Amino acid sequence: MPLTPPRASIIVPVLNEEATVHSAVSRLCRDFPDCELIVVDGGSSDATVELAALHATVVTGERGRARQMNEGARHATGDILWFVHADTTVDPDALDQIRAALTDPAVVGGGLTLRFDRRTPGLNYLARTSNARARSLHHIFGDQAMFIRRTAFDALGGFPDLAIMEDLEMSRRLHRHGRLRLLPATSTASSRRLVAHGTWRMIAFMQYLKLLYFAGVDPEAIRTRYAAGPRLFGRRRAAAARTTRT
């Protein structure tokens, strides 16, 4: 008698995503019909909740990606917790690969191979180095559609309650708990923020933010710095130059 495959719960944290949430959840329903689909809203002021509710179970949680994902996990019934961003497109082959990876009891989670929704030298470089980092350092970020074995998630107490870098910290804790796998199935992430601010500038900016985190800077301060964007660097340099000239 064939074994029933472990059930996966897809958890999608959202906040004011009315432009993307309907297409995202309808695509997830189509490609992964046997998965539980939970959308966790962090207090949207647009039509996100109404649109998501057409295809998914919607729950509300405190604003903040870590808290929203933990709230989704609290409602989930699956053996596999799979965290997918609303602006990310997941390869339909991913679920079979996740289930196959988790047949190894030493594997506690992992992510998908990152790519972007457009191809430029900067975006290609970022995808390539992100995938290499995931393989060598076991740092998996949210745009790689992180999946976690439920027992490991519970043992670690869920995502750490951080304002930013919760995915980086979770992957570090998971790696100490067991093995992480980067799967060949792709997670195609939106490049909108990268392109809007300049891809190479954003690459440098994100490395700077990670250095702040590893140096022990308060994650709330890092989140505030991230929200300000990399252009603040340019304004500060320009102001310093003007001061020097005068």
List pLDDT tens digits, range 6-53. 999 999 999 999 999 999 999 999 999 999 999 999 999 999 999 999
Q: Within this chain, do residues 125 and 223 fall inside the same structural domain, yes or no? A: no
Q: Which domain covers residue 239, as residue numbers? A: 197-246
Distances (CA, A) of 209 to 109, 160, 225: 25, 18, 8
Q: Within this chain, do residues 34 and 132 fall inside the same structural domain, yes or no? A: yes
Q: Is a pLDDT exceeding 50 seen at residue 121?
A: yes
Q: Within this chain, do residues 98 and 213 fall inside the same structural domain, yes or no? A: no
Residue 4 confidence class, pLDDT cut points 50, 70, 90: confident
| Residue 82 contacts residue 110 (beta carbons within 8 Å) | no
CA distance 197 to 164: 19
Q: Within this chain, do residues 121 and 204 fall inside the same structural domain, yes or no? A: no
Tell me how many domains the chain contains: 2
51-97 residue pLDDT tens: 999 999 999 999 999 999 999 999 999 999 999 999 999 999 999 99
Q: Within this chain, do residues 149 and 101 fall inside the same structural domain, yes or no? A: yes
Q: Is a pLDDT exceeding 50 seen at residue 246?
A: no
User: Looking at 190, 212, 232, which one is the last position of a domain?
Assistant: 190
Q: Within this chain, do residues 202 and 180 fall inside the same structural domain, yes or no? A: no
Q: Within this chain, do residues 170 and 205 fall inside the same structural domain, yes or no? A: no
Share of the chain above pLDDT 70, in %: 93
CATH code: domain of residue 83: 3.90.550.10
pTM (two decimals): 0.91
User: Looking at 146, 175, 190, which one is the last position of a domain?
Assistant: 190
Specify the length of the chain in residues.
246
Predicted confidence at residue 2, as pLDDT, reads 57
Q: Within this chain, do residues 114 and 16 fall inside the same structural domain, yes or no? A: yes
CA distance 113 to 143: 10
167-219 residue pLDDT tens: 999 999 999 999 999 999 999 999 999 999 999 999 999 999 999 999 999 99
Q: Is a pLDDT exceeding 80 seen at residue 113?
A: yes
Average confidence score pLDDT of the chain:
93
Predicted confidence at residue 242, as pLDDT, reads 40
